[in-house]
Chain A
Amino acid sequence: MLSTYQWVAIAMFGIGLFGVMYRRSLVGMLIGVELMLNGAGLSIMAAAQFTETNGALAQLSTLLVMGLAAAETTLVLAILLIVDKRFGHVESDNISLLRG
């Protein structure tokens, strides 16, 4: 049963990575990253719930991933606002300047 959940997690990771590469706007890329992080959390959780591993460790790891995802999203929102103010759009193709 563990492998079933791992397949779902791999599918989510693949879809997320495709989204990050394919999307042009930074918001769309952020959605892709969220999908990938969710796949990782699912995989961690399944790895402990179906084996002899300490279950508390996996549940806390998944919570940790969620916390990091929340922090990451907050920072990305700030970056999006700055990029939008400076460039007038949030599409990744034309943002190639890394100057302060």
Chain B
Amino acid sequence: MQMLAHLTFGFYLVLVLGGGMVATGTRSIVRAFAGLLVTLVGVAGLYFLMDAPFVALMQILIYIGAVSVIIFMAVMLTMASRGERYETPLKTPRKKILSLLAGGVMALLLAGMVTKYPIMSSMSPRGVPVSELGAALLGPYALVFELISVVLFVAMVGAMVAVYERRK
């Protein structure tokens, strides 16, 4: 059983990292989008592995279902409408080196923190029943729940107002 868990973890790890590489490395924006989708599926799998099936399903529903459709619309309405499939290529490799440096330095800083201050952790995850999540949302975290819905509402109305064209 332990062996199976390791195998599954390795599979999701490949999905996450491989998808991430494709999402940032290719010039074609549609391929990058497909890579992001693979990564999101991998993260959902990791949530399942962490004994959090509710959040895993939410990841599939919100990210793979909604956020990716919005990104898809963004590609469709901007670049694809003019037939652009690729970003304009870089003239010098300088920007790539600097970008690698930016990502690498921040990742190294975080990695240093993780190795310097290790946290006592158990080998197996502890699950939380969904009923407890619901009770927490209606009890101590009710304000957060209301606030996030207000934020979502404002973001959507704001987006509509921003792109709305008044008739001349």
A interface, CB within 8 angstroms of B? 1-8, 10-19, 21-28, 30-32, 34-35, 38, 41-42, 45-47, 49-51, 55-57, 59-60, 62-64, 66-82, 84, 90-91
Complex-state Cα separation, A46 to B47, whole angstroms: 9
- Does B1 lie at the interface of the complex (its beta carbon under 8 Å from any beta carbon of A)? no
What band does the interface of chain B fall in when counting residues whose beta carbon is under 8 Å from A?
A: 35 or more
Q: Which of A17, A24, A49, A82 contacts B106 (CB 8 A)?
A: A17
- Does B92 lie at the interface of the complex (its beta carbon under 8 Å from any beta carbon of A)? no
Which residue in chain A gives the minimum CB-CB distance to B132? Answer: A56
- Does B4 lie at the interface of the complex (its beta carbon under 8 Å from any beta carbon of A)? no
Contacts of A11 in B (CB 8 A): 16-17, 20, 107
Q: Which of B16, B40, B55, B162 contacts A62 (CB 8 A)?
A: B55
B interface, CB within 8 angstroms of A? 9, 13, 16-17, 20-21, 23-24, 29, 32-33, 36, 39-40, 43, 46-47, 50-52, 54-55, 58-59, 62-63, 66-67, 70-71, 73-75, 77-79, 87-88, 90, 95-96, 98-100, 102-104, 106-107, 110-111, 114, 118-128, 132-133, 136-137, 141, 144, 148, 151-152, 154-156, 158-160, 162-163
* Chain A nearest Cβ from B5, distance in angstroms: 10
Complex-state Cα separation, A45 to B98, whole angstroms: 31
Contacts of A41 in B (CB 8 A): 43, 59
Contacts of B50 in A (CB 8 A): 5, 45-46, 49-50
Contacts of B67 in A (CB 8 A): 34, 69-70, 73
Q: Are the CB atoms of A75 and B155 closer together than 8 Å?
A: yes
Contacts of A25 in B (CB 8 A): 29, 79, 87
Complex-state Cα separation, A63 to B136, whole angstroms: 13
